[in-house]
Amino acid sequence: MLRYLLTCLAFTTPAFAQEVDLSTIPEGYAFTSEGNGTRVDLRFIRREGDRYLFEESAVFADGSTDAVLVWVNAQSQTMAWGETGKETLYAPHDCAPSIGTCFHTWFHPDDTFEMKTVTYVENGIWVSEEFFKRGEDWVFWERDCTTYDEFGFWIDFVRIENDGETDFGVRERDGGNQLNELWAICQPPLLTS
């Protein structure tokens, strides 16, 4: 659920990105994630210069489907996602995963948001608290708790929004997942500003 997770941050000092180098991503890299009644398939399509193109296909609980393209840089930081001509753009890019405080501008077709995210790692879980700017204030948006693979893509995640709505996803794989640990770390109290 990359597009749902892409409210993360732009890489600025003093944030430190997870060491990721997509130049080593194998052809055929793909995975399936499920959560909240949604099945998401992510697959690597191709490299174009210093950008990497992925396709994300979702099948929702009601049977509806959606497919979007996702462009990331060599550090797996999202630069754009969405339907061609209706993309959400990130300036300069998001920086999930990274540690520290990060800022970016999120250019959504409906609006533009200045974003701030504070991220730390607890027991191997990346915890991000995200804010958007309203006037001079930073307003709490959501908390994400995520585990990542060596290419900077989620394995398991939990998201709790400022209104209490939750989302989660687990990658299909042999063995268990880390949802219990993610829920324990990601629980409210949530910030309001």
Query: If you write DSSP's letter for every residue of 99-139 in order, what string do you get?
Result: EEEEEEEEEETTEEEEEEEEEEEETTEEEEEEEEEETTEEE
Task: Band the pLDDT of 191: cuts 50, 70, 90.
Answer: low
Q: Does residue 11 have a pLDDT over 50?
A: no
Task: Band the pLDDT of 77: cuts 50, 70, 90.
Answer: confident
Q: What is the pTM of this model?
A: 0.82
Compute the half-sphere exposure of residue 119: CA atoms within 13 Å on the CB side of its CA: 32
Domain boundaries along the sequence of the chain: 2-18+32-186
Q: 101-152 pLDDT, tens per residue? A: 889 898 988 889 999 989 899 988 999 999 999 999 999 999 999 999 999 9
